Amino acid sequence: MTRGRYRGLLLLLSCVLHSSAQSCPSVCLCISDTVSCSSSSLVKLPRSLPSFSVNLDLSHNYVTWLGPSSFNTLPRLESLWMAHNQLGSLGYGVFNNVSRLRYLDLSSNKLQVLEQHYFQGLWRLEELRLFNNKIAQVEPGTLSGLSSLKKVYFSFNQITHFPFFSIQDHSHPFLSMLDLSSNRLTRLPWEDVKAMPGLVQRGLYLHNNSLICDCSMYSLFWHWNLRGYDSIKDFADEHICNIHGDPRASIRFLRNNRFFLNCSVETTVMQPAAVFHTKVIVAEGDRVRLDCQTSLSGTDLSFTWFFPGRGFINQTSVNDTLISMFSNGTVEIHAATVNDSGLYLCTAVDIKQAVNATREVNVTVLLPAAESFNTGYTTLLGCIVTLVLILTYLFLSSCHCSRCKQPAGYNNTTLSSVFSSSKRGQSRMETLKHVTFLEPMLGEKGAEWENES
């Protein structure tokens, strides 16, 4: 009992000491690791923010600028809310020493140009909110180095050009949301867009821009629509383009595609790059169906397939036990063999409109499961043999070493050198890739620290 009371007194004392050492600015509210200074009419950051802040809310104020190392007294900062301020630009090295930051909200500010240095060092940042600013330009390197990014919101700005080429598989492996809707994009570098990782394309929002109607644009959206991406499905009516770039002649191109009837001609004759590509991976022996969906639809279509192994095929010429073809252009290979891998081409021809469109399917037939089992089995066997060899070696060497002069010391140094070299070899990239494994460690450390205080 008395011991418990004594401990309670100590706790109280440490609390008082703690709050005097780390005083909460008078305009803010400090609750455990969260500091809220929102709606406090601040024009600058409060002078002494408590260093234990993990979450800092500065939203709904009048801050116009952030200078170098603005947050370098807050090494534990993970979330920073600064929505609804008056930020027009950021100085160099604003986020020095806050590399733990994972969530940054700068939405509803007055940013105009996103400069290359703005987010430097934030390699753990997962979510970046920049919607409803005045951003007209995003410099090419702005997002580079932000290798943990999952979601970025740029909607409701005035962006006319975006550096799609800077988004690559190796630079942004986790990015699954790139919102560029309600901006002023007119023409996109379609090749760069198509080269972005599939995960990013699936989460790319481009509706309500000022796109100029043309065939390469239509073909990409048509393809995404076919794959059922939510970004297209959920905003089908907001996908608009301007005919000849005239904003008065804007159409909802996913609803009304009559304008693009001419495109299929262009896609085959003038723009071979706009062919519809797909990829199919199957195992040997599987039944494979390849459809021939293109921009053309209707009942007056005739289909021709080019098979890598046997040339041109249509519904009247194909008649065997290996392949069937349906009237909608779909072909079926009853049991795929490794030799069926290759590039398959389908041409759909609309006889009445005298237009045609092409679909390309890259088929890869993988080795049968039995063989992969065999390789697994040989690998296992190899492992066992290696293990036996290692054990034999250890046994022999320990026998040998018992006669040596300093067996234990020798072993220790080799062991420690092995460990230290493996630690040194752990490159920065590896640490980046294993962010998910780092997270629980961070949590534990945070908990420890809280107990101390």
Stretch that binds ligand NAG, among 46-54, 343-351, 368-376, 412-420 (CB under 6 A): 343-351
Query: Distance between CA atoms of 239 and 255, rounded to whole angstroms?
Result: 9
Measured between alpha carbons, how far is 76 from 54 in angstroms, rounded to an integer?
Answer: 5
Strand locations in 294-412 (E): 301-307, 311-313, 323-325, 331-333, 342-350, 355-366
Q: Is 208 in the site for ligand NAG (CB under 6 A)?
A: yes
Q: Which residues contact 141 (CB under 8 A, 6 or more apart)?
A: 116, 166
C-beta of 216 vs 347, nearer to ligand NAG: 347
Among 59, 216, 267, 356, binds ligand NAG (CB under 6 A): 356
Choose which of 79, 96, 144, 315 interacts with ligand NAG (CB under 6 A): 96
Q: Which of 38, 267, 293, 294 binds ligand NAG (CB under 6 A)?
A: 293
**How many CB atoms are located within 10 Å of the residue 152 CB?**
24
| Binding span for ligand NAG by CB under 6 A among 104-112, 189-197, 245-253, 263-271 | 263-271
Q: What are phi and psi of 79, to 5 degrees?
A: -130, 135
* Beta carbon nearer to ligand NAG, 319 or 421: 319
Residue 293 Cβ vs ligand NAG, minimum distance, rounded to whole Å: 6
Q: State the maximum Cα–Cα separation within the chain, in Å, rounded to a whole number.
A: 97
Applying CB under 6 A, does 291 fall inside the site for ligand NAG?
yes
CA-wise closest residue to 56 among 92, 86, 87, 25: 25
The verdict on 97 binding ligand NAG (CB under 6 A) reads yes
Q: What distance in Å separates the CA atoms of residue 364 and residue 287, rounded to the nearest whole number?
A: 13
- If one asks whether residue 147 binds ligand NAG (CB under 6 A), the answer comes out as no
User: Is position 127 an interface residue for ligand NAG (rule: CB under 6 A)?
Assistant: no
- How far is Cα 82 from Cα 88, in angstroms, rounded to an integer? 12
Strands 137-138 and 342-350: unpaired
- Least Å distance, CB 340 to ligand NAG, is 9
What are the C-alpha distances in Å from 342 to residues 90, 276, 278, 329?
52, 16, 12, 19
Per-residue binding string, ligand NAG, 44-83, x by CB under 6 A, is: ----------------------------x-----------
In this structure, what token pair is assigned to residue 416? 């420690």
By CB under 6 A, which span of 49-57, 60-68, 260-268, 379-387 interacts with ligand NAG?
Answer: 260-268
**Cα–Cα distance measured from residue 257 to residue 219, given in angstroms and rounded to the nearest whole number:** 11
Q: What is the DSSP letter of 427?
A: -
Decide if residue 259 touches ligand NAG (CB under 6 A).
Answer: yes
Number of residues that bind ligand NAG (CB under 6 A): 26
> H helices of 195-317, where?
198-202, 215-226, 230-233, 263-269
Is 265 near ligand NAG (CB under 6 A)? yes
Q: Between residues 265 and 275, which has the closer beta carbon with respect to ligand NAG?
A: 265
Q: Is 362 in the site for ligand NAG (CB under 6 A)?
A: yes
Q: Is 326 in the site for ligand NAG (CB under 6 A)?
A: yes
Q: What residues line the site for ligand NAG (CB under 6 A)?
A: 72, 96-97, 182, 208, 238, 259, 262, 265, 268-269, 291, 293, 319, 326, 328, 330, 337-339, 343, 347, 349, 356, 362, 364
